Amino acid sequence: MAQLSDDCFAFGGELMAVDRALSLLAERIGPVTGTERAGLGDALGRILAEEVVAPFDVPPHDNSAVDGYAVFFDDLDPAGDTRLPVTARVPAGRALGRPGRRGEAVRIFTGAPMPEGFDTVLMQEDCRTDGGDVLIPAGIKRGANRRKAGEDIREGQVILTSGRRLRPEDIGLLASIGRTALELRRPLRAAVFSTGDEVREPGAPLEPGCIYDANRYVLISALRQLGCAVTDLGILPDRVEDVRAALASASRDHDVLVTSGGVSTGEEDHVKGAVEAEGALHFWRLAIKPGRPVALGRVGTAALIGLPGNPVAVLVTFQRVARPILLRLMGAAADEPPLFPVRAEFAYKKKAGRREYVRVRLSRGADGGLTAVKHPREGAGILSSMVESDGLVELPEELTRVEPGMTVQFLPFSEVR
Ligand code: AMP
Ligand code: MG
């Protein structure tokens, strides 16, 4: 007797574990983009394609960490106030031009080079002045408030390695060693399609039975955020000839093609067939929910990432499957986003053998720890549930149930941008 299924994931055939698919791909995929020279101002978010070695120490000179008085520690009375004449003034950007002398104090400002010999700086707030003298209380430590040359970066040190996705602090570090230009990976050229006869462009009339295209806007935005040069190739109808022609044409001038919809086994799902006809399909069913049908393959020389149609599945598979592939293609060093242990505030049942992602919002528990509150709506089409969540709880393949109070692994959306 035939049995009706209420689980759209329950159908036969081998499912591939997410990690296995990713490690297989990791062996096959390397950077596809060449390199180019770019200015420091254009480097944010780009992938560094060189190893950067510091040509000198940063800071280049010992300097004062505060506004105050530079002295010889050995001139200070360990038991009471010390009176020293203030003989010179060294603002930032100037040098005293001579070594410090025993028995004197020099007025010095934050960042100003320490005159040779002096080893300690008193904060001005801790001292009193009297005419041309400074009165220094006991109790300061030798070497206080003195920043050493090279304490940030040593000459010859590798400060950034090839494959780094450059962050604002990286750009600052490069500036601090005087760099103006860098060798970077050329941006990955990505083409994005939606598929589906029901899918309409926002702004166009919405005929009965149709929906507006959310996925393409999700994907274009997510790809841009990763630093890809994105071409928007619109919406494809559910016709295998059209899908084939569009994929073949886009494969000629893109590094990667990203589609959504049309990758299930239905009669109206033509991405899989089109990829088989125009290129090669590596795998197309992953043990992941939401998401399962994910097509990974190649069309011409372009990589093909065929994501599911439901918007939540698009986002989850983009973050967990497409993103690591794209980063590899871009030449980025492997970057596994960290998962954070939090307490589940929900009960949940799942099938063994597939990885599931639960949309959650974080809340502060009574003990001050973070708890994960499950979004009340679970459907893979409920895009607002993503908007109302902070991230995903990742439930591993072997797990079958979550009980409230259990520790689960939380992936913030901010870690997969
Ligand atoms: P499919 O995998 O093509 O059967 O699509 C699965 C579900 O996702 C269907 O309900 C589609 O209408 C929906 N869907 C497909 N493409 C999009 C899109 N671009 N934006 C929003 N929903 C979509
Ligand atoms: Mg469809």
Distance between Cα 262 and ligand 2 center (Å): 4
Query: Does the structure show a pLDDT above 70 at 5?
Result: no
pLDDT of the residue at 247: 98
Q: Distance (Å, rounded) from C-alpha 359 to C-alpha 348?
A: 12
Helical ranges in 185-278 per DSSP H: 215-226, 240-251, 271-278
**How much is the pLDDT for 23?**
87
pLDDT level of residue 2 (50, 70, 90 thresholds): very low
Could you identify the atom of ligand 1 that is nearest to the CA of residue 262? 3
pLDDT of residue 265: 83
Cβ 294 vs Cβ 321: under 8 Å: yes
Task: Point out the ligand 1 atom lying closest to the alpha carbon of residue 214.
Answer: 20
Structure tokens at 291: 């998401």
Check pLDDT > 90 for residue 29: no
Higher pLDDT, 241 or 265: 241
Looking at ligand 1, which atom is closest to the CA of residue 194? 19
Quick one: average pLDDT of 96-109? 98
Does 259 contact ligand 1 (Cβ within 6 A)? no
CATH of domain 340-416: 2.40.340.10
Query: According to the model, what pLDDT value does residue 12 have?
Result: 43
Rounded Cα gap, residues 118 and 129, in angstroms: 19
Which SS3 state, helix, strand or coil, does residue 327 take?
Answer: helix
pLDDT tens digits, 210-228 = 999 999 999 999 999 999 9
- Lowest mean pLDDT segment, chosen from 145-159, 171-185, 262-276, 314-328: 262-276
Helix 18-28 × helix 323-330 angle, to 10°: 10
Q: Ligand 2 centroid to 270 CA: how many Å?
A: 8
Mean pLDDT of 277-285: 88
Asked if 185 contacts 331 with a C-beta cutoff of 8 angstroms, the reply is: yes
Ligand 1, pocket-test mutation among 9, 215, 216, 220, most atoms within 8 A of CB: 215
- Can you give the pLDDT at residue 317? 96
Instruction: Classify domain 37-59+164-185 by CATH number.
Output: 3.90.105
Mean pLDDT of all residues in 384-393: 98
Of 34-43, 104-113, 264-273, least confident by mean pLDDT is: 264-273
What is the SS3 string spanning 79-105?
Answer: CCCEEEEEEEEECCCCCCCCCCCCCCE
Beta bridge pairs of residue 134: 84, 129
Distance 12 CA to ligand 2 centre (A): 21
> For 27-46, what is the mean pLDDT?
92
* CATH T-level assignment (fold) for domain 63-147: Molybdopterin biosynthesis moeA protein; domain 3 (2.170.190)
At residue 15, the pLDDT reads 85
CA dihedral 43, 46, 48, 52 (to 10 degrees): 30
CB 124 within 8 A of CB 67: yes
pLDDT of residue 8: 35
- pTM score: 0.91
CA distances to 56, 165, 211 from 156, in Å: 7, 22, 58
H/E element holding 296? strand 293-299
The band of 13, judged by pLDDT with boundaries at 50, 70 and 90, is low
CATH 3.90.1150.10 fits 18-34+187-330, yes or no: no
Residues in the chain: 417
- The sign one gets for the Cα dihedral 274, 275, 280, 283 is negative
CA dihedral 39, 43, 47, 53 (to 10 degrees): 60
150: region left, alpha or beta (phi > 0 left; psi from -120 to 50 alpha): left
pLDDT for the residue numbered 28? 80
pLDDT of residue 36: 97
Q: Over the stretch 112-149, which tens digit does the pLDDT of each residue have?
A: 999 999 999 999 999 999 999 999 999 999 999 999 99
Query: What is the pLDDT, as a whole number, of residue 30?
Result: 87
pLDDT (0 to 100) of residue 7:
43
Task: Spell out the domain ranges in the chain.
Answer: 18-34+187-330, 37-59+164-185, 63-147, 340-416
Average pLDDT over the chain reads 94
Residue 282's Cβ-count burial label (10 Å; 0-12, 13-18, 19+) is middle
The DSSP call for residue 230 is E
Place of tokens 């596994």: 336
- Which residues, 6+ apart, have CB-to-CB distance to 153 below 8 Å? 54, 57, 58, 159, 173, 176, 177
